[in-house]
C-alpha cells in the first residue's frame, strides 16, 4: 500500500477528505484536545504518527512521570506500539505505521490505538 492509498482509505473511513501536503505532512486535531501529525518517511515505506503530550512537570512529579512512562513503554506493556520521547522539555508520543502489507483499515486502527494512549498520558501529565 502507498501512503496515498492509506490516506484515501482513512478519508473514506472518517468521512473527512485528508491528504498529505507537498512535504508529506498532514495535521489532525481531535476534540480540541489532541493534535496528531502524520508524516511520510523519507523512503515512503511508512507513516509516522506523533503528538506533543505536554511539558514534562518539574521536580519529583516529572521524574515519577518519566519512570511510569518508561515502565509502560517497556515491551509495550501499556503503550502498545507507541513510543515516548523528549523534545527539550516537551513529552512526545510517536508510532510508525508500516505500509508494506498494510490493509485498508491499518492506518485507521493504528490512529485509534495512538489516540487511546494519548488520552491516558495527557491526563497523567496534566495532573502534575
pLDDT tens per residue, range 74-114: 888 888 899 999 999 999 999 999 999 999 999 999 999 99
Count the residues in the chain: 128
Q: Which domain holds residue 96?
A: 3-126
> What does the pLDDT look like over 71-84, one tens digit per residue?
988 888 888 899 99
CB 84 within 8 A of CB 19: no
Q: Give the count of alpha carbons within 13 A of 45, CB side only.
A: 2
Can you tell me the mean pLDDT for 36-41? 97
d(CA 1, CA 11): 15
Residue 56: the pLDDT is 92
Domain count, the chain: 1
Is beta strand 34-40 parallel, antiparallel or unpaired with respect to 83-87?
A: unpaired
**Cα end-to-end span (Å), the chain:** 42
Query: In the structure grid, which three cell numbers stand for residue 71, read together?
Result: 515502565
Q: Across residues 5-12, what is the average pLDDT?
A: 96
pLDDT recorded at residue 75: 83
104: CATH: 3.30.1460.10
On whether the CB atoms of residues 107 and 115 are closer than 8 A, the answer is no
Amino acid at each position: 500500500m502507498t501512503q496515498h492509498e492509506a490516506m484515501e482509505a482513512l478519508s473514506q473511513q472518517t468521512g473527512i477528505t485528508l491528504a498529505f501536503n507537498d512535504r508529506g505532512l498532514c495535521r489532525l486535531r481531535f476534540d480540541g484536545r489532541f493534535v496528531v501529525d502524520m508524516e511520510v518517511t523519507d523512503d515512503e515505506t511508512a507513516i509516522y504518527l506523533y503528538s506533543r503530550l505536554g511539558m514534562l512537570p518539574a521536580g519529583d512529579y516529572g521524574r515519577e512521570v518519566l519512570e511510569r512512562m518508561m515502565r509502560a513503554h517497556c515491551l509495550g506493556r501499556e503503550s502498545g506500539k507507541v513510543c515516548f520521547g523528549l523534545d527539550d522539555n516537551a513529552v512526545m508520543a510517536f508510532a510508525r505505521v508500516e505500509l508494506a502489507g498494510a490493509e485498508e483499515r491499518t492506518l485507521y486502527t493504528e490512529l485509534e490505538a495512538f489516540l487511546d494512549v494519548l488520552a491516558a498520558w495527557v491526563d497523567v501529565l496534566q495532573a502534575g
